[in-house]
Amino acid sequence: MKKLLPIILSLLAVTMSRASNERMVTAVFSGTYNGYQRPREADGSPKREYYALANGIFSPGVSADGSIDKVKFPQIAGLTAQFLALKNYYLAKDAESADFLLLISWGKTLPFSDSAYRAIGDTFYGAVNRSSASTKALKAAEDAAAHGGPSTRGRDGSATPERMMQQIDQEALDGEMFQMRMFDDARRDADEYNARLLGYVDEINRRDTPSRFAGAGIAYNDLISDIENERYYFVISAYDFKTAVKTGQRKLLWATRVSIQADGNKFNEAAALMLAKASRYFGQDSGRLIQEFEREGSVTLGELKVVGVVPESKVHDQPPK
């Protein structure tokens, strides 16, 4: 019988703290794929299923962040396992009993650099203003020439200072427009990546209607603001284990994504809250992005402490929750 790489789930040292007056805003999106439906017992409760655990992708973000940099995968795995167990998902004892290959990815998003975008925007609008001013000056000179004033062309056909300045400013504006198009493309790419990572795509598309230009665009703008700012996130992905072993292909069965704004929060304090919200939808389709606003306490992840190994019989004979 093929054995899995042993993973010891241990008790995490946690400390509870009082919530601040600010509300915690979590966003959860969960989906089922390739025909997966959670099997049920005769009484309608979810049937117990087993998973093999794997480390997904960790993204630390662009800046040093002690609240996430010091959190390691064993802590993440142990905490996630507790919430999985609440939904009757348990770590498999061997490869033969595994239903899923479960990947846990977590980290902080990499939003498009808003400061760089603002800088290029300021330069662009400066070029627009200069081009507009020089065009008006040239138009005034041409109007004056049409009524007997000095010509806007020299006797040898050369351009006057007004025309030369207008040409220079127009060329500068053309260059800035090219830069803006490049930045807009980069911004769209970054937004699209983060929207897919966090599960925001369908909700953004749902809100992207003509009504948002008629006073109903607040929700849409809030969604764009989310994906363009740093967010802590978890992605719990369940792949069919037997397909992965036999063919090497990953057949996604369900995935749950949860995130929270990084600014004003700490990953090690928000992790338990995020996973608690996400666990409601493990193995289910949420239908759309679920955003919840509430005051919450926080859980701080402490150092990993091994407290012993639970006998196999006790682990697998526990009644379903």
Reading the chain (321 residues) residue by residue, the pLDDT tens digits are 444 433 333 333 333 333 333 556 899 999 999 999 999 999 989 999 999 999 999 999 888 899 999 899 999 999 999 999 999 999 999 989 999 999 999 999 988 765 555 666 667 667 677 777 777 776 776 777 666 665 555 555 555 666 677 777 677 766 667 666 777 777 888 899 999 999 999 999 998 888 777 766 688 889 999 999 999 999 999 999 999 888 888 999 999 999 999 999 999 999 999 999 999 999 999 999 999 876 544 445 554 444 433 344 443 444 434
Do 18 and 54 reside in the same domain of the chain? yes
**Domains identified in the chain, total number:** 2
3-state secondary structure of 126: helix
Q: Is residue 213 part of a domain?
A: no
Which of 161, 181, 201 is where one domain is finished? 181
Do 16 and 103 reside in the same domain of the chain? yes
Do 51 and 139 reside in the same domain of the chain? no
Q: Within the chain, how many helices (H) and strands (E) appear?
A: 9, 9
Q: Is residue 122 part of a domain?
A: yes
Which of 158, 181, 204 is where one domain is finished? 181
Q: What is the pTM of this model?
A: 0.69
Q: Is residue 188 part of a domain?
A: no
Do 80 and 166 reside in the same domain of the chain? no
- Beta strands 12-17; 231-240: pairing state: unpaired
Strands (E), 2-74: 12-17, 24-32, 49-59
Do 22 and 72 reside in the same domain of the chain? yes
Q: Is residue 239 part of a domain?
A: no
Strands (E), 211-320: 231-240, 252-261, 290-294, 298-304
Q: Is residue 61 part of a domain?
A: yes
Do 95 and 20 reside in the same domain of the chain? yes
Q: Is residue 267 part of a domain?
A: yes
pLDDT of residue 4: 40
pLDDT of residue 317: 42
* Cα(29)–Cα(290) distance, integer angstroms: 6
- Where in the sequence is the domain holding 124, given as residue range(s)? 114-181
pLDDT of residue 6: 34
Around Cβ 10, how many Cβ atoms within 10 Å? 16
pLDDT of residue 308: 39
Q: Is residue 174 part of a domain?
A: yes
pLDDT of residue 173: 65
E strand or H helix that includes residue 29: strand 24-32
Do 98 and 18 reside in the same domain of the chain? yes
Return the amino acid letter for 144: A
Do 19 and 100 reside in the same domain of the chain? yes
Q: Is residue 44 part of a domain?
A: yes
In contact, 31 and 254? CB cutoff 8 Å: yes
* Cα(207)–Cα(305) distance, integer angstroms: 46
Terminal C-alpha separation, the chain: 29
pLDDT of residue 210: 82
Which of 140, 161, 181 is where one domain is finished? 181
